[in-house]
Amino acid sequence: MSGHSKWNNIKRKKEKTDGARAKIFTKIGRELAVAVKEGGSADPAANSKLKDVIAKAKANNVPNDNIERIIKKAAGEGNSNAYESITYEGYGPAGVAVIVECLTDNRNRTAGDVRHYFDKFGGNLGTTGCVSFMFNEKGVIVLEREGLDEDTVDALEAGASDFQADEDVFEIYTEPSDFSGVRDDLEAKGYSFVSAEVEMVPDTYTDLTDPDQILKMQKLIDALEDNDDVQQVWHNWNEPEEEDED
């Protein structure tokens, strides 16, 4: 079930408009800048966090020139970005668990926005820890299955903890500490990634059958993802296949 939901989520993100994709580029740019600052280096070989975000950027088709420009700017004199990382937890319609990861320079603004979205679309913002216990942090690497053979993608030998074959993709799961090594091994073998990042993976998924709840849940995700301060939205909604097909 996780693979099915994961692939639907990827397709939905990749089918967004150019304007929405530009917003994704901007958010990844913010992550790159924070990674340079927090890791104390603009060299990915010496800054593992930066290296991971660069891999995420490439999987999202951020041009190399953009990546290099952002890193150079973040490492420059006088760069004073003051973003802090904040995570919110809450419930969507019918109790769907939602985790919202943010990078913000105004905690009050972001908290107000996030609370407003939950209230508007049939959910409610909860306290820290109210849903995160239902998720596990894992490295997730997704490869398009076309042209690849299950027996030749030796991710488990590279140190992955799990390997799943979906109809369209291969999903490779790692422990967070093993993520960079497995990704580097696969990259060195010439594989390109649909997605590659450390994620919050739910233990179980929730199905929504009521059309109104489905619509509200989708609007909640869209509103959160459209907010400039929101970097990631993790949830345990098992998005139906037909939601991605027109």
Map residue 69 onto helix, strand or coil. Answer: helix
Instruction: Measure the CA angle with vertex 49, ends 201 and 235; round to 5°.
Output: 20
pLDDT-based confidence at residue 21 (cuts at 50, 70, 90): confident
What does the alpha-carbon distance between residue 158 and residue 171 come to, in Å, rounded to a whole number? 14
What is the pLDDT averaged over residues 79-92? 88
Provide the whole-model pTM.
Answer: 0.86
Our CA dihedral for 25, 177, 71, 189, rounded to 10 degrees, sits at -80
Instruction: Specify the DSSP element, H or E, that contains 25.
Output: helix 18-39
Q: What are phi and psi of 239, to 5 degrees?
A: -60, 130
Which is it for strands 84-91 and 230-235: parallel, antiparallel or unpaired? unpaired
| pLDDT at residue 243 is higher than 50 | no
pLDDT given for residue 217 in this prediction = 96
pLDDT of 2 > 50? The answer is no
Q: What is the pLDDT of residues 173-210, one digit of tens each?
A: 999 999 989 998 888 888 888 888 899 999 999 999 99
Amino acid at 220: L
Residue in 216, 233, 223 with CA at minimum distance from that of residue 97 = 233
pLDDT tens sequence across 101-127? 999 999 999 999 999 999 999 999 999
Per the prediction, the chain carries an average pLDDT of: 86
pLDDT, tens digit, for every residue of 37-46? 888 899 999 9
Task: Please give the structure tokens belonging to residue 206.
Answer: 């929730």
- Read off the DSSP letter of residue 242: G
Q: How confident is the model at residue 154 (pLDDT cuts 50, 70, 90)?
A: confident
3-state SS, residue 106: coil
